[in-house]
Amino acid sequence: MALPSYATRVQRTYYYAYLFFCCIVFFFLIAPLIAIVPISFSRSPFMLFTEGMLAWPPEPEAWSLRWYKNMVGMCDADVVSSTVPCGNKWMRGTVNSLFIGTISTLIATSLGTMAALGLSRPHMPFKGIIMSILISPMIVPLIITAAGMFFFYARINLVYTFTGIILAHVALATPFVVITVTATLVGFDTNMIKASQSLGARPTRTFFKIIMPLILPGVISGALFAFITSFDEVVIVMFMASLDQLTIPKQMWAGIRQEISPVILCMATCLVVLSIFLLTTVELLRRRSERLRGVSPH
């Protein structure tokens, strides 16, 4: 938002100082993420900027895609060693993470949307208690939640199974859907539901023709947050998954402890790009939701 023409010198000074402070905070938060991108293209087996990368003009020999090839299992002979093995662990972890994240997102989105619709009812009993229980996985420390899930699922033989991992991720992702869809339902006009019912529409038709199109941006936003939560989760996976059930966060954690190489930075770069894409999608959906509700963004 630009300053008005009648702003005083003090107001202008405060405004530009505020922008400068925001830029400093933004740089402090983003700089570590930006730093990993060029290092992932380094030819060196160490996670650092080489002299060739820092030279001006940059030396082409200092840059390489060798670590990205290693990540997908296409390794050069000089890359493979006892400390940097070449295999399909990263791709297997990617497939598992996508599978677990997709199934968890579908289940969490369905449950969270239904819970949000129920909590949006004006005469819903014990609304505060139910909401507190639903969002408790976001408040309770994750290590406690993981330990509790491990002992609970161990009794029903779901530990070290994809079913147990998916159910655990659903429990963590559902609160994000509930909060997002509930925020979308704040400005929802219930008179449209009454009008649909007065015209003879059944509840199912009312939901898919009236309610769902209006809350769809919030549902998709909640689904994206649920997917990010499931895709990035490592603590639950460490408790619930076996050695063969690799995911991207688990493989990155194991790589940091056992086989430090720029391959980890390559996968981190891919995750940063994925996160930027998902967050951009969420912002576009938020603006679309505001336009549908007749709210002009400031």
Q: If you search the block for the tokens 């070290």, which residue do you land on?
A: 160
Rg of the chain on CA atoms, in Å:
24
Sequence-ordered list of residues with C-beta below 8 angstroms from that of 26, at least 6 positions apart, any chain: none
The answer to whether position 281 is within a domain reads: yes
pLDDT at 83 over 50: no
Report pTM: 0.78
CA distance 163 to 171: 13
User: Is 39 within a domain?
Assistant: yes
Query: Is the backbone peptide bond immediately before 213 cis, with ω within 30 degrees of 0?
Result: no
CB 267 within 8 A of CB 273: no
Q: And the tokens for 50?
A: 């080489």
Residue 66 sits in the same domain as residue 100: no
Which range, of 2-6, 34-38, 65-69, 118-122, averages the lowest pLDDT?
2-6
pLDDT at position 258:
67
Both 185 and 120 in one domain: the answer is yes
Q: Could you give the CA distance from residue 141 to residue 285 in angstroms, rounded to a whole number? A: 30
Are residues 185 and 283 both part of a single domain?
A: yes
Residues forming a β-bridge with 63:
42
Q: Quote the number of domains for the chain.
A: 2
Helix (H, G, I), strand (E, B), or coil: what is residue 45? coil
Residue 146 has pLDDT above 50, yes or no: yes
Residue at 82 is within a domain: no
Say whether both 238 and 152 belong to one domain: yes
94 and 61 in one domain? Answer: no
Work out the average pLDDT over 181-195: 79
pLDDT at 232 > cutoff 80: yes
Is 229 within the bounds of a domain? Answer: yes
Rounded to an integer, the average pLDDT of 196-202 is 81
**Shared domain check, 165 and 263:** yes
Q: Are residues 159 and 241 in the same domain?
A: yes
CB 178 within 8 A of CB 115: yes
What digits encode the pLDDT tens for the residues 96-136?
999 999 999 999 999 999 998 888 877 778 888 888 888 88
Q: Does any domain span residue 46? A: yes
Burial class (CB in 10 A: 0-12, 13-18, 19+), 107: middle
Q: Are residues 106 and 245 in the same domain?
A: yes
What's the distance, Cα to Cα, between the start and end of the chain in Å? 8
Name the residue among 168, 274, 148 with its Cα closest to residue 230.
Answer: 168
**Neighbour-count burial for 9-42, b at 16+ CB within 10 Å, e otherwise:** eeeeeeeeeeeeeeeeeeeeeeeeeeebeebbbb
Write the CATH number for 193: 1.10.3720.10
Distance CA 202, CA 196 (A): 8
- Is residue 156 assigned to a domain? yes
Domain-located, residue 81:
no
- What domain range is 47 assigned to? 9-71
Same domain, 176 and 266: yes
Residue 80 lies in a domain: no
Can you say whether residue 48 is alpha, beta or left, with left for phi > 0 and alpha for psi between -120 and 50 degrees? beta
Both 238 and 129 in one domain: the answer is yes
pLDDT digit string, tens, across residues 279-288: 888 778 777 7
